Amino acid sequence: MNKIETKFQEVFILEPKVYIDHRGKFMESYNKNSLEQLGIQVDFVQDNQSVSNPAGVLRGLHYQLNPKAQTKLVRVSSGIIFDVIVDICTNSPTFGQWLGVILSEYNNRQILVPKGFAHGFCTLAPNTTVCYKVDQYYHPVYDRGILWDDPDIGIDWPITTPILSDKDSKHPLLRYADLNFSIKEPD
């Protein structure tokens, strides 16, 4: 497993070893010990999978509030996404900054998204399946969203008119500018 650092201190791109032969490919898409050897200690409790049939679907930007904030390990089992994270920790030196990476069945890349980041992606191919582990269970009461095209964040999405859920088109549940999310537990 190869670990690539990013501009965010605790955000890493991971590249599992891929074994290719005449039948296709094999990889250990998750290995707790391999991650621990890279200094990544996360106890995941839930696996999620979303399938987006058309290209141009955009899901996000989502996060759960403390104390149910989630660390996520995101990968693509089929198709291609432009994956985006936004630092929403108001006490972080990189507060408000965003990062976009291509994850696909071709580059086999994964991204580790720590608590304190909003997460979203848009699909760049039809029939794209995104698989991701989280270390906190889903708590809809703690689920929050930021507008995908919030001008205060200014994400350079590769698509202009995405296919959105009702929820994601009704944002802002919260304008990024109104965030008071801090990485520490609320007092």
Ligand X SMILES: Cc1cn([C@H]2C[C@H](O)[C@@H](COP(=O)(O)OP(=O)(O)O[C@H]3O[C@H](C)C(=O)[C@H](O)[C@H]3O)O2)c(=O)[nH]c1=O
Q: Is 182 exposed, middle or buried (0-12, 13-18, 19+ CB in 10 A)?
A: middle
- Comparing C-alpha atoms, which of 136, 133, 94, 140 is closest to residue 117? 94
| The one segment of 20-28, 103-111, 119-127, 149-157 that binds ligand X by CB under 6 A | 119-127
In the residue annotation, 138 being an active-site residue is answered as: no
Pairing of β 110-113 and β 72-78:
antiparallel
Out of 138, 151, 169, 170, which residue is the one contacting ligand X (CB under 6 A)?
Answer: 138
- Catalytic position from the list 63, 119, 132, 171: 132
- Catalytic position from the list 62, 63, 171, 176: 62
19 binds ligand X (CB under 6 A): no
Instruction: Give 105-122 as a DSSP string.
Output: TTT--EEEE-TTEEEEEE
Residue 183 DSSP code:
S
Binders of ligand X in range 58-87 (CB under 6 A) = 59-60, 62
| The one segment of 5-13, 25-33, 56-64, 151-159 that binds ligand X by CB under 6 A | 56-64
In the residue annotation, 142 being an active-site residue is answered as: no
- Contact set with ligand X (CB under 6 A): 48, 50, 59-60, 62, 119-121, 138, 165, 167
